[in-house]
Every structure is written in structure tokens, then in C-alpha cells.
């Protein structure tokens, strides 16, 4: 009973191979950025050479993975364009020793598999000098081992996971934003001092972000005061059981390590259940503009109308960048200048400030790395410490510490703006490390808006 | 006879792939490895739908089972790679067997619903038992290039070799299975269940077997994907993954192993290629990040309109001397009666 057709597998296999060859030969030449001659800023020092992968005489190409579409995109998709805006600004003011920065950020949809693919593409095909500000804990964990094996600088990861500080295993990886353990300690310390003896409840995301935050809180707040610990999974938008449990435990203060959407859900559900504790929220989940917008749109979906600014009023949080409302601050003035010049369509919110501030730090490090830097030179530059920039507290960077910003101030949201309360506080990630006021005034932004070499 | 032919073909492909991987750059090697991982999973799914006539919208869940099994074995027991892959196929098969028992009682949309539920629910187990599965951040999977290849050997080439070998072995086994008695029984079952039962076929057993085979492939595919991407985490095994392997199977041509290759090539190469084109033409990031999704949709619509029986079906129609009866790719899911065996002739 043999079949009459005989083509199948061999033919098919042959065609598949042909297809692969075609695909392989198709587009293997990466788009090279137009190499416009840089303005005559290379008057001093040695000639500019292609000193490392991704560096030519005229350009520095760096890459990143960002959630530009998908669940994590709202808000976070502003960060990379904001960083790029700052790089454009630097490029049009002489670049880094005359070289222009080419920032290629690819969409990973916050899916670790895709992160792996796009980062392989950036490193193996596009030959980037470094990966800058890759966003997300689960996503970036997928590529940190690869980047370190390939000896590609992996700088200023956009996540507060303490895991980036592992100089022994991951010498090429550096954190940037205030890590969640330090943040938990600073918030916990404030609550402990100002709400003595009150019943405290925790609300947190059930991953590294929430867990690290709770770890920091537990270093400061006595166990006996904590009446409820409720976690949520970002995939499940019903937080009524958690809020009901917090209410049943008579929590008077709720400390929340949540992303903005879940801060909003926590608030709206509390409103529905007539539960009105004092709320304290971590920096990532409390950007007043983002939060107010979410509160109003979620309420609208549920057929209700709320005022976002009224609901965010009085939330205790912390900030490691200057408050956006403080136009007299030289850094905020710089951020606003970049924003109005390059990003007029985006709201001027915490995400934009974050993107610009991280980009500034990268430019700082690149200037310090020298005229013709190798990849190792960038690490050496950061390991030698970076001067304090847009953040209110200094960086921790050293050969043995790859954490970034070391402190923050406590802030309270008033009329949609963060109002600083008390001094900037700095601390370490240890259970017993003291929390001390950092009294040195923040250096003001350079008039040119570009760090000096 | 058939086995010899399949083996010969596989050997030929292996040689060509070897030459190819030696010639292309490291990122192309990585993409080839990705394709091989998807091919393994899609091939199993295309058999399940195209031959046995059952649907699964939740194949990503079986891939997750295989991937986590591989990660745990590599992490804690340091098994050799070939044993890890075999074990992940077994793990996938076990999960498929359990679902298959339920699936044998379910039809059409109910079966689709049950598999869909699995795809949605399974990843959250990793969050629930974070101690074992690493929670949201998952487990990292690293394999080392063997020392005898030398220190300068590109790791992605080794990845491509490993994954292509696994994929080829899977394809040969599937091709034989499809050509043999089991394959015939599945087709009979798909085309007319009552007739099949009257002819003495054990319908429930065949249905479960189809699920077992298919999810074994998915388990292996998941393990390969884990090795390629260096990580297993719930975020990597979303419903979107299940949908994309299903799309790849339909796009390539249901029931056809070559179709599985086509579908996987589209899955891997179209998004990268379109992103490159979009960014090099200076589109804003907001636009260029959405272009690949749009392009994927356009490819999907175009193929379905031009080649309703998938890329492989379309090629056969264009190249082959005898045009097989044009039929919708979801033909297998409709109960069309024994006549559709004729359409099956050219497929495998």
C-alpha cells in the first residue's frame, strides 16, 4: 500500500535549508549610522580611534531592551526616548570627545525570551559597546549571564533589584536606581518614627521587587507592629481579598511596594471597602502624575468618577531624584529644557526624568573612561566612583559595590506634586546599617547641561 | 524503506546545516537555534491538529513543563545535555498524557477551552512555589561549550548544533510515525470518528497518544528554547507563546512537518527583519516598535488569503504538477467526512 507521492521529506528538507540560507544572507549587514564628521572638538589629545567594539572614530553605539509594547509599556515606554533625547542633546553639543552616541533600544515586550533574542542581536550583530539601562528584573536576569560571559558592559540596569550588585560573579553589571532594600529601610524608618505603636500592614508585589522592599522594611519596623502582609500577583487585577484582609487586621498604616497600576487598584478597592489607612508607597509606584491618571481611568472603567489628585493627596513616599515640581532646582530646569526641546509630546513625569538622569550618568561615565576607551576602561571608570549627578544622594560605585544611588528623601504628595519632608537619608543594604541624614548640598547641574570630562 | 529515506534526508539537512552554521555570523547561529527550538514544538502541534484532528491552544504550557524540567535537572543534578532533553520530552509527555485523558472526552471548542485554561494557569504555579521554580524571575539555564571545540568556538554555534540535532531527530521520528500505522489511524480518526471506531480503532487511546506525542515534542521544544534563551520564567511562557506556535503551525500548513519549518522561520525572522528595516528607515520608536506586530498580521492575512492551506500547501500548489484539492487549513478541525483523505495525500 505505498503512497504514490515521493516528494515530501527530502524535497521539503532541501527547501527548508534554502530558506535558511536566504534568510541568513538576507540582512546580515547591520545598518551603519551615517558618520557625519564631528565638529572640530577633537582639537586636543590623541586621534579618535575605533578603540572597542561599538566605538568608531565618530560614534559610540549602545543598545538596550525596553518594553515598548505590552503590559509594562504604559509609562515605561517613555524612559528610553527620554534617554535618547538627552543623548541627542549631548550629540548636538560636541558629543563625547567628539563622538556621537547612537542609542539602539529594542522592544522586548517585557518577555524574557524576547529580551534574550534582542540582546543577542545587539551584541552579536549590531556590535554595541555596552547595554545601557535594560529594563526589568525578570527580563534583565535573562541576559546578565550572557553579557558577562561576552564581557559586554551592562550598565545602569533599570531595576532596583539588589541582585545587580554582584561584582564577583557579574563584574560587568551595574545597578543605578535606589535599590529596593535601601528604599524599604528609609521608608520603614520614617513610618516607625512617625507612627509609633500604630498597626502596620504590608501590600507588595510577590516578586523580587516586593520581597526586597519588605526585607528593607523588616530591618526597621518591629515584627510585633505588623498586623498583615498581603501580596499580589501582577497578573491578577482583583486585590479585594488582600484589601479586605488588611482591613480585617485593622491596619492603620499600609506600606505598599507596588507598581503604579496596583497602587491605583489598592486605593480604589480601599475606597470601595470604606477602608482609609495612611498610605505609604515606594517610589516606583507613586509617581503622582502617572498615579492620578491611572486612578481616574480605572475609576472611569468601573463607571465611577474620582479626582486623581484628591486621592493621591497625603501619600507618603520617597524620591531619589529632585521633585519635579521644584523648578528652581537646576537639574529639574535641565530636564525641562531637554523635555521641551526633544520630547514635547510626552508628559513631563517621573519616567522622563528617570530616562534623562540615567543617560546623564552614562555620559558622566563615558567622559571618565577616556578619549579612546576599551570596554574595560568603562568598568574602571565606574569602579573608581562617579561624582554625584542628578540624584539627591551619592552613588555607591566601587570595585566591590555595584549598587547605584544610596539614598532618598521622604516626600508627601500634595496637589499632584511631591513635597520633600526632611533631609536626604542615606544608608546601606545591611540589616543593622544606620540611616543617616546626608547634609552635603546636591551639586547643581552644569550650565552646559553636560558633565565635564 | 521509509525510515531509510527519512534518515537520508535528515543526514543531508544535517550536513547543509553544519556548513551553514560554520559560515554565518554568531547572531544568525543564534536565530537558527531559535528556529530549531520552535520547529520541535510546532512539529508536534501540527501533527496533533493536522493528523489527529484535536486542537490545543495551550501548547506553551507543555513547553513550560519541559523547560522547567530541563532547568531543574541542569541546575540541581547536572545531568548531561542529551539526558536532560530526553527527560524534558518525558515530562512534557506526562503532562500531555494527563491532559490527553481529559481531552479524549472533549471536542472542538471545549477542548480548546481546556487547553487554553492550562496555558493561562500553569505559569502561575511558578509564582506560587517560588522556592523551587524561582518565582517571577525564573531559573537561569546555562550550558557550556565542550572543551574539545576550543576556547574561541562561538557559543551560539554550539547552541545551533545542539538544537538542530534535537530538532532533526524529532522530525525523523515524527515523519516515521506519521507515515506508519499510527499516522493512518490518526487520519482515520480525524476524518470520521464513527467510521474509525467501527473499523475497530481505539479512539480514546489514539487521541491520548496524539496528545502524548505532541506534548513530548513541546516539552523538548521548551527545553531547547530555555537553553537558547538562558532562562525559564513565567513571563516567557505566556498565552502569547501558545498562540504564536499555533499560528506558526497554521501558517506553515497544518499536518505538514515542512510547514512547521516554514512557520518557525516566519516566527523568528519576520519580527527581527522588520524591526531592522523600520529602525533603519528612521521611524520613531513608537511606530517602529509596533511595525513588527503589524507586519506579522499582514503576513498572516496574506498567507491565509493566498494559500489557505498554509505556506507548504501553497508551495505545493505552485510547484507541484498535481494540484491537491484546495482546502482551508483548519479543515482538519471540521468534520468533513472521508473525502478529505485525498487532500491529505501530499501532506507530511
B135–A120: do the CB atoms touch at under 8 Å? no
Q: Considering only alpha carbons, which residue of chain B is nearest residue A161?
A: B137
Residues from chain A that touch B280, judged by Cβ atoms under 8 A, are 31
Q: Which residue of A has its CA nearest to B19?
A: A21
Whether A240 contacts A273, CB under 8 Å: yes
The nearest alpha carbon in chain B to A16 belongs to B261
More confident residue, B110 or A401: A401
Q: Are B228 and B93 in contact, with CB atoms under 8 Å apart?
A: no
pLDDT at position B103: 76
- Residues B123-131, mean pLDDT to the nearest whole number: 79
What are the cell numbers at B153?
Answer: 568556538
Q: What strand order describes the sheet that includes A200-205?
A: A226-232, A200-205, A253-257, A278-281, A316-319, A407-414, A417-426, A436-438
Is A113 close to B28, i.e. CB distance below 8 A?
Answer: no
Predicted pLDDT of residue B337? 40
Beta-carbon contacts below 8 Å between A and B: 166
User: Considering only CA atoms, which of A98, A271, A283, A252 is closest in space to residue A182?
Assistant: A283
Helices B310-319 and B257-280 pack at an angle, to 10 degrees, of: 100
Whose CA is closest to B341, among A291, A217, A1, A288?
Answer: A1
**For residue B284, what pLDDT is reported?**
65
- Pairwise CB contact (< 8 Å): A137 & B228: no
Residue B136 and residue A7: Cβ atoms within 8 Å? no
pLDDT(B256) > 70: yes
Q: Check residue A401 and give its pLDDT.
A: 93
Render pLDDT for B52-91 as a digit per residue (tens, 0 to 9).
Answer: 888 888 899 999 999 999 999 988 888 888 899 999 999 9
B8-58: per-residue pLDDT in tens? 888 888 888 888 888 888 888 999 999 999 999 999 999 998 888 888 888
Task: Give ipTM to 2 decimals.
Answer: 0.81
Smallest CA–CA distance, residue B330 to chain A, in Å, is 21
pLDDT of A250 reads 94
Helix (H) or strand (E) holding B150: none
Q: What is the mean pLDDT of residues B305-320?
A: 84
The string over A351-360, giving b where at least 16 C-beta atoms fall within 10 Å of a residue's C-beta and e elsewhere, is bbbbbbbbbb
| Partner-chain contact B231 A207, CB within 8 Å | no
Residue range B170-184, pLDDT digits in tens? 999 999 998 889 999
Place of cell 577633537: A42
Q: Which pLDDT does position B321 carry in this prediction?
A: 60
Three cell numbers at A184?
A: 524599604
Minimum-distance CB partner of A116 among B23, B231, B346: B231
Listed in sequence order, the residues at least 6 apart from A332 whose beta carbon sits closer than 8 Å to its beta carbon are A322, A323, A324, A326, A353
In chain B, alpha helices (H):
2-23, 26-50, 59-72, 81-103, 108-128, 130-133, 155-179, 181-191, 193-198, 203-229, 239-252, 257-280, 285-306, 310-319, 341-344
Q: Within an 8 Å CB–CB cutoff, is residue A142 touching chain B?
A: yes
Q: What's residue B282's pLDDT? A: 63
Residues of B in Cβ contact (< 8 Å) with A235: 124
Top-confidence residue, B33 or B335: B33
Please tell me if residue A143 touches chain B, with a CB cutoff of 8 Å.
Answer: yes
What per-residue confidence (pLDDT) applies to B145? 82
pLDDT band at B285 (very low <50, low <70, confident <90, very high): low
> Which of B12, B273, B315 has the CB atom closest to A10's CB atom?
B12
Of B124, B156, B269, the CB nearest to A23: B269
First CA to last CA distance, chain A: 81
pLDDT of residue A20: 44
Output the pLDDT for position B283: 63
Least confident of A169-183, B2-16, B153-167, B215-229: B2-16
Burial class (CB in 10 A: 0-12, 13-18, 19+), B150: exposed
Q: How close A311 gets to chain B, by Cα (Å)?
A: 30
Q: What is the DSSP string of A22-59?
A: HHHHHT-SPPPPP-PPPPS-TTSSSPP---STTB-SSE
Q: What is the pLDDT of residue B231?
A: 85
A214–chain B nearest CA distance, Å: 16
Higher pLDDT, B108 or B195: B195
Closest CA–CA distance from residue B83 to any residue of chain A (Å)? 23
Tell me, yes or no, if the pTM score tops 0.95. Answer: no
CB of A231 within 8 Å of a chain B CB? The answer is no
Report chain B's mean pLDDT, rounded to a whole number.
83
Burial of B129 per CB tally in 10 Å (0-12, 13-18, 19+): exposed
Spans of chain A below 70 pLDDT:
1-45
DSSP letter assigned to residue A135: B
> Cell triple for residue B267?
516566527
B133 min Cα distance to partner chain A (Å): 12
Do B289 and A69 lie within an 8 Å CB cutoff?
yes
Contacts of B15 in chain A (CB under 8 A): none
Report the pLDDT value the prediction gives residue A60, as an integer from 0 to 100: 95
Residue A321: Cβ-neighbour burial (10 angstroms; 0-12, 13-18, 19+): buried
CA angle B160, B163, B165 (to 5 degrees): 100
Residue A129 near residue A62 (C-beta atoms within 8 A): yes
Q: Specify the range with the lowest mean pLDDT, choosing from A322-331, B229-238, B255-264, B277-286.
A: B277-286
Which residue of chain B is at minimal alpha-carbon distance from A146?
A: B230
Query: Which domains, ranges and CATH numbers included, belong to chain B?
Result: 2-341 (1.10.3470)
C-alpha cell belonging to residue A354: 528617570
Whether residue A310 lies within 8 A of chain B, CB to CB, comes out as no
Angstroms from B210 CA to nearest CA on chain A: 21
pLDDT attached to residue A402: 94
Amino acid at each position: 500500500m505505498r503512497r504514490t507521492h515521493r516528494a515530501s521529506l527530502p524535497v521539503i528538507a532541501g527547501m527548508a535549508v534554502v530558506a535558511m540560507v536566504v534568510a541568513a544572507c538576507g540582512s546580515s549587514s547591520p545598518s551603519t549610522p551615517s558618520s557625519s564628521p564631528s565638529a572640530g572638538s577633537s582639537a586636543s589629545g590623541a586621534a579618535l580611534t575605533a578603540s572597542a567594539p561599538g566605538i568608531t572614530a565618530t560614534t559610540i553605539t549602545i543598545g538596550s531592551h525596553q518594553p515598548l509594547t505590552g503590559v509594562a509599556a504604559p509609562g515605561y515606554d517613555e524612559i528610553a526616548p527620554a534617554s535618547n533625547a538627552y543623548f541627542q542633546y549631548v550629540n548636538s553639543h560636541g558629543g563625547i570627545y567628539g563622538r556621537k552616541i547612537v542609542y539602539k533600544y529594542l522592544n522586548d515586550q517585557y518577555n524574557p525570551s524576547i529580551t534574550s533574542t534582542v540582546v543577542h542581536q545587539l551584541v552579536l550583530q549590531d556590535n554595541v559597546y555596552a547595554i545601557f539601562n535594560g529594563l526589568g528584573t525578570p527580563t534583565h536576569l535573562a541576559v546578565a549571564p550572557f553579557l558577562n560571559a561576552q564581557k559586554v558592559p551592562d550598565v545602569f540596569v533599570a531595576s532596583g533589584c539588589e541582585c545587580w550588585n554582584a561584582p564577583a560573579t557579574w563584574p560587568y553589571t551595574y545597578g543605578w536606581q535606589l535599590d529596593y532594600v535601601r528604599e524599604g529601610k528609609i521608608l520603614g524608618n520614617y513610618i516607625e518614627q512617625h507612627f509609633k505603636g500604630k498597626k502596620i500592614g504590608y501590600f507588595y508585589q510577590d516578586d523580587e521587587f516586593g520581597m526586597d522592599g519588605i526585607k528593607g522594611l523588616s530591618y526597621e519596623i518591629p515584627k510585633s507592629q505588623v498586623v498583615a502582609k498581603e501580596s499580589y500577583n501582577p497578573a491578577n487585577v482583583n486585590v479585594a481579598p488582600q484589601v479586605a484582609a488588611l482591613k480585617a487586621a485593622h491596619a492603620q498604616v499600609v506600606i505598599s511596594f507596588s507598581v503604579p497600576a496596583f497602587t491605583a487598584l489598592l486605593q480604589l478597592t480601599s475606597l470601595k471597602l470604606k477602608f482609609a489607612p495612611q498610605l505609604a508607597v515606594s517610589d516606583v509606584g507613586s509617581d503622582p502624575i502617572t498615579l492620578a491618571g491611572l486612578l481616574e481611568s480605572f475609576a472611569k472603567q468601573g463607571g465611577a468618577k474620582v479626582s486623581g489628585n484628591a486621592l493621591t493627596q497625603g501619600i507618603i513616599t520617597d524620591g531619589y531624584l529632585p521633585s519635579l515640581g521644584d523648578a528652581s532646582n537646576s537639574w529639574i530646569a535641565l530636564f525641562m529644557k531637554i523635555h521641551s526641546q526633544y520630547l514635547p509630546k510626552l508628559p513631563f513625569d517621573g519616567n522622563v526624568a528617570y530616562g534623562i538622569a540615567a543617560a546623564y550618568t552614562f555620559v558622566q561615565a563615558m567622559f571618565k573612561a577616556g578619549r579612546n576607551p576599551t570596554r574595560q576602561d568603562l568598568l574602571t571608570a565606574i569602579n573608581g566612583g562617579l561624582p554625584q549627578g542628578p540624584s539627591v544622594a551619592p552613588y555607591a560605585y566601587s570595585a566591590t559595590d555595584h549598587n547605584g544611588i544610596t539614598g532618598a528623601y521622604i516626600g508627601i504628595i500634595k496637589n499632584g506634586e511631591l513635597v520633600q519632608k526632611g533631609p536626604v537619608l542615606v544608608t546601606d543594604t545591611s540589616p543593622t546599617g544606620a540611616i543617616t541624614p546626608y547634609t552635603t548640598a546636591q551639586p547643581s547641574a552644569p550650565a552646559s547641561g553636560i558633565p565635564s570630562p | 524503506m521509509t525510515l531509510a529515506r527519512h534518515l537520508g534526508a535528515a543526514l543531508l539537512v544535517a550536513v547543509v546545516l553544519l556548513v551553514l552554521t560554520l559560515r554565518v555570523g554568531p547572531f544568525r547561529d543564534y536565530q537558527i537555534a531559535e528556529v530549531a527550538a520552535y520547529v520541535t514544538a510546532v512539529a508536534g502541534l501540527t501533527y496533533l491538529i493536522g493528523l489527529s484532528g484535536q486542537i490545543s491552544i495551550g501548547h506553551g504550557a507543555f513547553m513550560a513543563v519541559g523547560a522547567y524540567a530541563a532547568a531543574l535537572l541542569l541546575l540541581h543534578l547536572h545531568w548531561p545535555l542529551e539526558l536532560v532533553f530526553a527527560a524534558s520530552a518525558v515530562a512534557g509527555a506526562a503532562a500531555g498524557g494527563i491532559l490527553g485523558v481529559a481531552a479524549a472526552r472533549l471536542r472542538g471548542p471545549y477542548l480548546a477551552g481546556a487547553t487554553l485554561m492550562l496555558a493561562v494557569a500553569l505559569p502561575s504555579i511558578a509564582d506560587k512555589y517560588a522556592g523551587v521554580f524561582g518565582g517571577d524571575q525564573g531559573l537561569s539555564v546555562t550550558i557550556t561549550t565542550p572543551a574539545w571545540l576550543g576556547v574561541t568556538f562561538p557559543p551560539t554555534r554550539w547552541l545551533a548544533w545542539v538544537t538542530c540535532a534535537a530538532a532533526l531527530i524529532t522530525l525523523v521520528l515524527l515523519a516515521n510515525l506519521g507515515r506508519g500505522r499510527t499516522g493512518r489511524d490518526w487520519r482515520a480518526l480525524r476524518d470520521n470518528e464513527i467510521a474509525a471506531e467501527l473499523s475497530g480503532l481505539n479512539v480514546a487511546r489514539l487521541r491520548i497518544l496524539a496528545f502524548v506525542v505532541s506534548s513530548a515534542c513541546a516539552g523538548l521544544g521548551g527545553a531547547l528554547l530555555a537553553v537558547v534563551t538562558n532562562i525559564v520564567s513565567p513571563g516567557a511562557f505566556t498565552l502569547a507563546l501558545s498562540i504564536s506556535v499555533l499560528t506558526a503551525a497554521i501558517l506553515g500548513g497544518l499536518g505538514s512537518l515542512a510547514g512547521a519549518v516554514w512557520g518557525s522561520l516566519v516566527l523568528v525572522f519576520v519580527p527581527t527583519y522588520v524591526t531592522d528595516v523600520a529602525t533603519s528607515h528612521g521611524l520613531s520608536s513608537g511606530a517602529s516598535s509596533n511595525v513588527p506586530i503589524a507586519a506579522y498580521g499582514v503576513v498572516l492575512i496574506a498567507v491565509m488569503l493566498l494559500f489557505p492551506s498554509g505556506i507548504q500547501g501553497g508551495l505545493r500548489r505552485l510547484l507541484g504538477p498535481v494540484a491537491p484539492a484546495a482546502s482551508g487549513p483548519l479543515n482538519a478541525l471540521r468534520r468533513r467526512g472521508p473525502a478529505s483523505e485525498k487532500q491529505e495525500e501530499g501532506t507530511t
